[in-house]
Amino acid sequence: MKKEETTVIEMEKPETQKEKRSDVQKEHKLLMDKNEQLLKEMQEREYIVNFKDKGVYGRFCKFLEKDCEWTHTTSAGLIMLYNNVKQEKVKTKEDDWNGDIVLRSINVSTLWQMLTTMKGKGFYEARQFVELMAVIGQPISEAVKQVHTDNEALRDAHQALAVLDQKLDHGDLIEDVKETKESKKKETKTSKK
């Protein structure tokens, strides 16, 4: 048997280029601004839920007023949801009301949580629940999906900020920014937000 020689070629590792601190700081600032804008939009965003008619809307209001179970962790959510739903009552008195009410983002999540944990007794309560879910189940489910999508965008922005914070605090960066006590204080405050 003849021995074959194998030539070993050593490959040089490509030198990873260091990032400039100023570039990372700019990216951090842009992401902070985007994050702030996203938070503001999410707080103001509204979702339409169709209640079909005044009867369904009325039964839902009655449920919130008298029958909705709550705990110390859900009581504030119930109050906000109830106030939001009651503000929409004016629309139900209009002759051309199409069944739509507008819920704010936090109230969509609260409503979904309450619907999925709802309990009752007897045939009549069960029938009312099924009728309610048949009417608002689909629209509220779609609104919840949109809220989750919006929250995912916010989580992604927070993760990207965490990576940039890590780079700024512990990364191997080209120091092209002269730090003053003032800029260090400012950077510390923004990374704590």
Q: What is the pLDDT along the chain (193 residues), one digit of tens a residue?
A: 566 676 666 656 555 678 888 888 999 999 999 889 988 888 888 999 999 889 889 988 988 998 888 889 989 999 999 999 999 999 999 999 999 999 998 899 899 988 888 888 899 989 988 988 998 899 899 999 988 988 898 899 889 999 999 888 887 888 887 765 555 555 555 555 5
Three-state helix/strand/coil letters over 106-175: HHHHHHHHHHHCCCCCHHHHHHHHHHHHHHHHHHHHHHHHHHHHHHHHHHHHHHHHHHHHHHHHHCCEEC
Domain boundaries, the chain: 20-174+183-192
- The answer, as to whether pTM is greater than 0.75, is no
CA–CA gap between residue 40 and residue 97 (Å, rounded): 29
